[in-house]
Amino acid sequence: MQSESERLAAYRQLRTNIRGSNNHLIVGIDIAKEKHYAFIGSANGATLCKQLIFQNNQEGFDLLTSRVEVLRLKHHCEHVVFGVEPTANYHKPLAEYLIRQGLHLVQVSGNAVKQNRELLDNRWDKHDRKDAANVADLIAQGKCQFYDFPPESIRDLRELLSLKKKLKKEEHGLKTRIRNNLLALYFPEMDQYINSCQTVSLSVIGNCCDPVMISGMEYDTFYNTVVFTRKNKKQDELLYQIWQSAKKSIGCNAGVAAVYEGNVLNKQLQGITIAIQELDKVIQTLCSRIEEYPYLLSIPGIGPDTASKILAYVSDPYRFDHAKQVIKLAGFDLSASRSGKPSAKATPVISKKGQADLRFALCQAALVASHRNNLFSNWFARKLQGREREKGIYAVILVKLAAKMLVIAWTLMKKKEMFAYEQLNNS
């Protein structure tokens, strides 16, 4: 099995030599859940096998590689390149099998596949055999991307971050349901307090979300019903305000259904919150075993969550030759429509074509650093000086700082150094 650096070097060589080559055999694969469709051809446009259907199992994978090897020898090709269009997670077992066999694998983007489909035969129809040929055609043109297959620790980290994203989405959905469906109907006045102290607010929702029930209690009884920890001045003031609001509530009459729904949603939300907290510990434990993790934490504004995303997406820092490639990874690279107008009048904006999660995390880190760290605040103020009245300038400089922090993080990962403030002006 080749290392990631060796695979990247082979990919770059492929992009240089693939067009019109007589030495490359191209295998385009349309991925599905149970079986895959393969098209085998040459880089100069010859069709060697219109359709090969193989199952998504060991026997099917062996059939694919054996058939490809027969055709390679028959047509005297030196190199074989496999290409897939990533579809959900269905492509990953085949991809790992091919990479572990030492075979060359690339991927094509779904957007490129869609745009190239009609160019094959001037028809927009779509089927599995045509999609496989479409993938092969894109590879023959060199319009393919490197298939990233990092070490197992990085793959685990990516899967855990994906799980965390799903859990956070569920958590947000439950909070929205509580506010928009439950409180808006039965206790609208409480919506303003829900973000003040989430633990107390959810306890109220889970135990007695009916304002009539709350107003019928003495305050001490209400307090003891929803609070199970020692007294706290802040939560005491919050609960007293909720208790007072319940007496003047305009909400609909709440019956058994409202109380039951509040209890169920509260339990679900608490369960997901605990799961996210436990997942954060697992992610932090995994990151602590990676050498570059402490270097990232040394950068002001970057905490465990942002550091874990930088590790997951940057992976091997040596696969990037210069900072522009790292900036493209997060979608911070600038793009503009300059057709038919002078370049000076075109307004460039960030492409947003990279990893959205990484981009968002870095912008949050830049926001924290620019407010809580003096040197970062001074850098931000220098960039802002004289441009305060420009529309949207604060967001522009914040994005610039986020991109700079990513470059600094990449540099520290490569050099294996802790952050030094000189790097803020030099990177």
Q: What distance in Å separates the CA atoms of residue 278 and residue 329, rounded to the nearest whole number?
A: 29
User: Whats the size of the chain, residue-wise?
Assistant: 427
H/E stretch holding 39: strand 35-42
pLDDT of residue 228: 64
**Residue type at 74 in one-letter notation:** K
Say yes or no: do domains 4-149 and 155-284 share a fold: no
Q: Among candidates 194, 165, 190, 173, which has minimal Cα distance to 265? A: 173
> Please, what is the Cα angle at 414 between 417 and 160, to 5 degrees?
100
pLDDT along the chain (427 residues), means of 10: 83 88 91 92 88 93 94 91 90 93 92 82 74 91 90 94 96 90 86 77 79 84 76 78 85 83 88 94 95 94 95 92 92 81 75 91 94 91 88 92 95 92 73
Backbone angles phi, psi at 57, to 5 degrees: -155, 180
What is the SS3 assignment for 104?
Answer: strand
Record: fold of 155-284: Helix Hairpins (1.10.287)
Q: What is the DSSP string of 52-79?
A: EEEESSHHHHHHHHHHHHHHHHHTT-SE
* Spans of all domains in the chain: 4-149, 155-284, 293-426
Q: What is the residue whose two structure tokens read 């010859």?
A: 46
DSSP-assigned letter for residue 197: -
**Long-range contacts made by residues 225-232, C-beta under 8 angstroms, separation at least 24?**
226/200, 227/200, 227/203, 228/203
pTM of the predicted model as reported, rounded to 2 decimal places: 0.86
Class of the domain covering 4-149: alpha beta
pLDDT of residue 229: 66
pLDDT of residue 231: 65
Are 380 and 370 contacting, i.e. CB atoms less than 8 angstroms apart?
A: yes
pLDDT of residue 251: 83
